Amino acid sequence: MNLLSLAIKNLQRRKTRTLLTIAGVAIAVAILFALLSFSAGYERQLNSEMENLGFNLLAVPKGCPYEATTLILHGGVIPKYLTNDDLARTRVTPGVAVAAPMLLQQVIKDGAPHIVYGIDPDAMIPLKPAWKVNGRFFNASETNVMVIGSTLAEKENLKPGSVIPFGPAQEAYTIVGVLNPTASEDDNFHFLPLADAQRLFKKEGLITAIAVKAEDVKDIPAIAAELEKVPDIQVVTMAQVTGTIMNLVGSARTLLFSVIVIAIVISAAGITNTLLMSVNERTREIGMMKAIGASGSHIALLLLAETVIITALGGILGIAAALAGSGIIEAFVRGIVPYAPPGSFVSFDPVLVAGCLAFSVGLGLLCGLYPALKSARLSPMEAIRGEWE
């Protein structure tokens, strides 16, 4: 037997109270871990999505706010357009390696919105090295053909060769290829040749946005400045888009962190209350231990060991619960933040796990310090007489 086993046995005296305290710590740590994990995961996934976009700038119609630009990236349809002339001017801007035009439209099928991208395959495919197609890609001049994302193909049970009625006039379109999963929003879209999409939606000569890849990232500010001179064009860099999205989720994040703080304060009060009650009940016993040779530091160590056991167990359970329930947490978070990139936010990050455990134990030590020091300083006489207060 040693101090640690004595601490464990002490905690077994009031099992319900100990378990409730552990549960309180577990809830606080689960919230802390899930939200920190979400926060890190969100930024990671967002940056990953921006990197996967394959371009550095987006030329959008003037007056299109950043918020609307972020929607374009997820297939949002805006009512303003650029023209083929704007595309031509963009392509001749010094430093521009690729300028890929996009026309975004939406069709409703079986009550659900479907996003349609009209693209120039010769310009877009070099921007998307991750795109691998099952079947083939269309060429720019083809009509009534499309490539679709993998999630969409699975949902609609479509494969290369399938023919579907599509567009306002329900024309027959042949699926010539299905993209392999990209873990991005592309998995949900229909891709059509740009000219065919312009014809289908009666938007001849119109473009929603132009994705621009610079020959060198150092040229991005110069390209942006040059493109801003075009009367119709507003330039949005991907850094601006990321910043805008982070601002959008900022308020949601503030709310989530408020929840963390409240959970931690409640948990800390619970731990302190448990320890104070426990010490108060055992004051005479502490006196006995001092009488048989325990020093003040033995008593303090014993109580701190008890609190560390509670908080370490609570921390482990909380992290396990957060990982096990990450699906529910993500669904909840996705429901309240305005822009959620694809991919999992909550993941097993050893640094975060260690950090949350250390926080949990640190919280326990902090909460246990007052009862531990007070008990350690009690004189054996006071303790034997039960004079805690």
Partner 1 sequence: MSMIEATGICKTYRRGSEDVCALRGVDLAIEPGEFVSIVGPSGAGKTALMNILGCLDTPTSGTLTIDGVQVTGKKEAELVKIRRDHVGFVFQQFFLIPTLTVEENIGLPLIFSAKPYDTSKINAILSRVGLSHRAGHLPSELSGGEMQRVAIGRALVNNPRILLADEPTGNLDSVTANGIYTVFEELHRQGLTLIVVTHNMELAKRAGRVITIRDGCVDRACGHQLP
Decide: is 2 part of the binding site for partner 1 (CB under 8 A): yes
Q: What's the rounded Cα separation, in Å, for the pair 159 and 151?
A: 11
Would you put residue 345 in left (φ > 0), alpha (ψ -120 to 50) or beta?
A: alpha
Decide: is 293 part of the binding site for partner 1 (CB under 8 A): yes
Decide: is 159 part of the binding site for partner 1 (CB under 8 A): no
Q: What's the rounded Cα separation, in Å, for the pair 175 and 160?
A: 5
Of 88, 291, 328, 358, the one binding partner 1 by CB under 8 A: 291
In the complex, minimum distance from the CB of residue 275 to partner 1, in angstroms, rounded to a whole number: 17
In the complex, minimum distance from the CB of residue 388 to partner 1, in angstroms, rounded to a whole number: 15
13 to 32: interface string for partner 1, x by CB under 8 A:
x-------------------
* CB nearer to partner 1: pick between 3 and 78: 3
DSSP lists the bridge partners of residue 60 as 234
Q: What's the rounded Cα separation, in Å, for the pair 299 and 305?
A: 10
* CB nearer to partner 1: pick between 9 and 132: 9
Of 10, 144, 184, 283, the one binding partner 1 by CB under 8 A: 10
* CB nearer to partner 1: pick between 215 and 387: 387
Q: Are 268 and 32 in contact (CB under 8 A)?
A: no
Distance of CA 106 to the CA centre of its chain: 26
Q: What's the rounded Cα separation, in Å, for the pair 180 and 230?
A: 37
Q: What's the rounded Cα separation, in Å, for the pair 139 and 133?
A: 13
Decide: is 289 part of the binding site for partner 1 (CB under 8 A): yes
Of 183, 248, 373, 384, the one binding partner 1 by CB under 8 A: 384
For partner 1, how many residues bind (rule: CB under 8 A)? 25
Q: Which stretch binds partner 1 (CB under 8 A): 60-68, 131-139, 160-168, 284-292?
A: 284-292
Q: Are 385 and 287 in contact (CB under 8 A)?
A: yes
Q: Are 193 and 118 in contact (CB under 8 A)?
A: yes
C-alpha closest to that of 268 among 376, 354, 373, 365: 365
* CB nearer to partner 1: pick between 126 and 296: 296
Decide: is 280 part of the binding site for partner 1 (CB under 8 A): no
Q: What's the rounded Cα separation, in Å, for the pair 245 and 255?
A: 16
Decide: is 380 part of the binding site for partner 1 (CB under 8 A): yes
Decide: is 285 part of the binding site for partner 1 (CB under 8 A): yes
In the complex, minimum distance from the CB of residue 285 to partner 1, in angstroms, rounded to a whole number: 6
Q: Are 171 and 144 in contact (CB under 8 A)?
A: yes
Side chain identity at residue 29, one-letter code: V
Q: Pick out residues in 295-314 that bind partner 1 (CB under 8 A).
A: 295-296, 298
The residues of the shown chain that bind partner 1, judged by CB under 8 A, are 1-3, 6, 9-10, 12-13, 284-285, 287-296, 298, 379-381, 384
